[in-house]
Amino acid sequence: MSGQIKSTGHVEWDAENETFAEYKVRRSAGRSGIGQSNSQKNMAGKCTVTNKIKTKCDCRTCINRRNRSKGRRKQNQARKLLKIPNNRFHGADAHEENWNTGLRVEVKAGKQVEGLSKVFYKSKKQSDLSHQSFGGSSKPFVQMSMPDNSSKGIISFETDDIENVCVEILKNFGYDFGDS
């Protein structure tokens, strides 16, 4: 057959026996300049301190790397949930201060928010049970915390309810949406 290019041994990923990172290294073996193996700073590979796989290592460096990675994932997820547009250069999206929005946002994740989420979901459960007994739970749920020594409150609600919560709060402030 003239004019047809034959494959030079396409490398398939064996998902059952290797990680994707290991596949990438194997796929690019023998190439110069492109497809180099992952940097030792990345999640792939073994820790230089304990020689354990980095995703399972319990040294301070690996724990910090995983925490930082989780924080970045949660920031990106929060930005998308709030429908904040991407910056022209995606590296700028790594910090909430650079987000293209009129809001000041600080995203927290992990164990540091467990207390807040416990209070929120306990309050939501209480409200859900109360509204079920009255026969209606169509209203969006908002949890309001009122700390001692402060006249200000802190509002918490789930991101699924952003639009409904905002509309209902604006109605309370006298805005008319023409639906009544």
Q: What is the helix (H) or strand (E) element at residue 164, kind and residue range?
A: helix 162-172
Write out pLDDT tens, residues 39-49: 556 667 888 88
pLDDT tens sequence across 10-55: 667 777 788 887 787 777 776 655 555 555 566 678 888 899 998 8
DSSP secondary-structure letter at 13?
P
**Phi, psi angles (nearest 5°) of residue 155:** -100, 135
The per-residue pLDDT for range 80-114, each reduced to its tens digit, is 999 988 888 777 788 888 888 888 999 999 889 99
Chain position carrying tokens 């467990």: 114
Tell whether the model's pLDDT for residue 148 goes beyond 90. Answer: yes
| HEC secondary structure over 64-128 | HHHHHHHHHHHHHHHHHHCCCCCCCCHHHHHCHHHCCCCCCCCCCCHHHHHHHHHHHHHHHHHHH
Asked if residue 42 lies in contact with residue 85, where contact means CB atoms within 8 angstroms, the answer is no
- For 158, half-sphere exposure in the C-beta direction (CA atoms, 13 angstrom radius) is 9
Residue, of 100 and 118, whose pLDDT is higher: 118
With beta carbons less than 8 A apart as the criterion, state whether 95 and 101 touch.
Answer: no
What is the pTM for the complete model shown?
0.65
Contact by Cβ (8 Å): 163, 169 = no
Q: Give residue limits of the domains in the chain.
A: 11-45, 52-107, 113-172
- Distance from C-alpha of 116 to C-alpha of 161, rounded to nearest angstrom: 18
Distance between CA atoms of 165 and 159, rounded to whole angstroms?
10
CB 43 within 8 A of CB 55: yes
